[in-house]
Amino acid sequence: QVQLQESGPGLAKPSETLSLTCAVSGASISSTSHKWGWVRQPPGKGLEWIGTFYYSGGTYYNPSLKSRVTISEDTSKNQFSLRLSSVTAADTAVYYCARLGQFDPNVFDYWGQGTLVTVSS
Amino acid sequence: EIVMTQSPATLSVSPGERATLSCRASQSVSRNLAWYQQKPGQAPRLLMYGASIRATGIPARFSGSGSGTEFTLTISSLQSEDFAFYYCQQYNEWPPTWTFGQGTKVEIK
């Protein structure tokens, strides 16, 4: 059973960097069969894709966030991370990590439960 | 940038009735279209991919159609557990980008 679990501070200050980690069990992030990504959802709003990576295949970011986002992976811990710099209140959201590729290489099939990050001083 | 537009924003339907949700892409996405269901406080759940293929465990009352720029998700006979938000999502080949529609809320009439 594939499981993804987000973790990280629930509060970030404006202008600082938001950092989250997604721990994966039941699957390997170094598998070339799947991609891994981050999606966020501001309170009461819709879903926004942040970025996707696949092992040995590159990392791709939402153009609107590209200048502030970094996704990295730690295969020794089977986890991947999100860093979003220069945050503002507009970055307040539930952040989800997800896997792509069980059914189709480009759809999100397994999701973490999500973690709320509030940007406030 | 491909923009996905869903309509209506809210759909009021009685249990047992049919619900039809629309998703329009600003340019052709072929059949690279997925649908997700999300209930309050939960992560999204994959319903359909490839525009018309049900994911594992999704009931047959859910069906998808369309290609190019116009897509439809139909729920043939709404059950109580189907009242939720629904999002479409496209994938663009190059550069690789994923875009969600703004969502449709299906509520009890």
CA distance A120 to A98: 26
CA distance A107 to B50: 9
Q: Considering chain B, what is the average pLDDT of its residues?
A: 96
Which of B31, B49, B47 shows the shortest CA–CA distance to B39?
B47
Query: How many angstroms away from the CA of B76 is the closest CA of chain A?
Result: 23
B contact test, residue of A22, A54, A99, A108 with most B CBs within 10 A:
A108
Percent of chain A with pLDDT over 70: 100
Residues of A with Cβ-Cβ distance to B53 under 8 angstroms: 103-104
Question: Is the model's pLDDT at A32 over the cut of 90?
Answer: no
Query: What sections of chain B are H helices per DSSP?
Result: none
Least CB-CB distance to A103: which of B49, B98, B99? Answer: B49
pLDDT in tens, B16-53: 999 999 999 999 999 999 999 999 999 999 999 999 99
pLDDT in tens, A40-64: 999 999 999 999 998 878 999 999 9
Calculate Rg over the CA atoms of chain B.
Answer: 13
Query: How many angstroms away from the CA of B106 is the closest CA of chain A?
Result: 14
Residues of B with Cβ-Cβ distance to A49 under 8 angstroms: 89, 97-100
pLDDT of residue A102: 86
A44 — phi, psi (to 5°)? 75, 10
Q: Report residue B88 as tokens.
A: 């479409």
Question: Is the model's pLDDT at B93 over the cut of 90?
Answer: no
Percent of chain B with pLDDT over 70: 100
CA distance A72 to A80: 6
pLDDT of residue A56: 78
Helix (H, G, I), strand (E, B) or coil at B80: helix
pLDDT of residue B92: 84
A46 touches chain B (CB under 8 A): yes
pLDDT of residue A57: 80
Percent of chain A with pLDDT over 90: 89
Q: Report residue B72 as tokens.
A: 């439809």
Q: Report residue B96 as tokens.
A: 């690789």
- Mean of pLDDT values over B75-98: 93
- The model's confidence at residue B1, banded by pLDDT at 50, 70 and 90, is confident
Question: Is the model's pLDDT at B4 over the cut of 90?
Answer: yes
pLDDT of residue B94: 82
B residues 50-109 near A, CB within 8 Å? 50, 53, 55-56, 87, 89, 91, 95-103
